[in-house]
Amino acid sequence: MLAAAKINLALHVTGLRPNGYHLLDSLVCFADVGDIVTVRPSDQLSLTLAGPRAKDLPQGSSNIVLKAARSFGPDFGAAIHLDKRLPVAAGIGGGSADAAAALRALAVLWDAPLPDINAQLALGADVPACVVSKTLRMTGIGEQITLVPNMPKFEAVLVNPGVAVSTQDVFKALPKTNNPPLEVLPAGRSQAEWLDWMKRQRNDLEVPALRIAPVMIDCLTALHDADGCELVSMSGSGATCFGIYASARQARAAAMQIMAYHPDWWIRPTRLG
């Protein structure tokens, strides 16, 4: 089961609840790269980890994949394996995507309904969106999901400089929490129309995130300077940035160009949608 990277094409912070939860209005899509979650029948619940990013995760009961499995109830067993490929604390929903993929896979394995929206939110605000794993508009604290079936696919490059960024720290540094919501979404499927729309939107977390991790300025610049770049922005609370390109060929060329100058960065050409 692919735990696809979640990309916030636009993210507006529109309010703050008394309990401290921020209200968001975000256009979310998913990449064709991600982690891989597999499940097998077993009498006991267990988790094994592999992959280039496995060392960055907790292996015990605090792992979000095991928390997701336990949300079905105490009487279920499965052998779960996570091949961790996405960087952590990266603004692309890695942990939430892993939890969501585990929920989907275990629901099939156990022939059980998915845990309800409150149980999903208890795992993380991005989990409901990652359970859907299709282009969508996410509002509220993440519980209000509206599919956006008419957005076209885009060729893109994801870049992460290897710096973990704390979502909590970024939200704390927000200068303003009552920003305007997204503009009305385009009605058609024209890439040009959608790109124009995206250029008028924001990621309200970008300014505080750049102060916390200024290396992201280098990421945005490298994406922008590559041939064929149409748009650059940051996903989530960072540190992953993305560029949208005019063609898959130009996206691959941009990725190779950036890799040549920054071999220590995590860089992936991908298709968004």
Predicted local distance difference test score (pLDDT) of residue 60: 85
Same domain, 140 and 152: no
Q: Which residue range forms the structural domain that includes residue 194?
A: 148-272
6 and 140 belong to one structural domain: yes
Average pLDDT of the residues of the chain: 97
Q: What is the DSSP string of 204-270?
A: TTHHHHHHH-THHHHHHHHHHHSTTEEEEEE-TTSS-EEEEESSHHHHHHHHHHHHHH-TTSEEEEE
Q: Are residues 116 and 160 in the same domain?
A: no
**Do 201 and 66 have their domain in common?**
no
Catalytic positions: 6, 126
Counted domains in the chain: 2
Together in a domain, 136 and 165: no
Residues 207 and 107 both lie in one domain: no
Give me the residues of the chain with pLDDT under 50, please.
none
User: 40 and 66 in one domain?
Assistant: yes
Query: Are 160 and 266 found together in one domain?
Result: yes
For residue range 139-186, what is the model confidence (pLDDT) as tens digits?
999 999 999 999 999 999 999 999 999 999 999 999 999 999 999 999
Q: Do 177 and 125 share a domain, yes or no? A: no
pLDDT at 59: 83
Could you tell me if 219 and 157 are in contact, meaning their C-beta atoms sit under 8 angstroms apart?
no
First-to-final CA distance of the chain:
17
- The whole-number pLDDT of residue 130 equals 98
Looking at the fold, whether 32 and 140 belong to one and the same domain comes out as yes
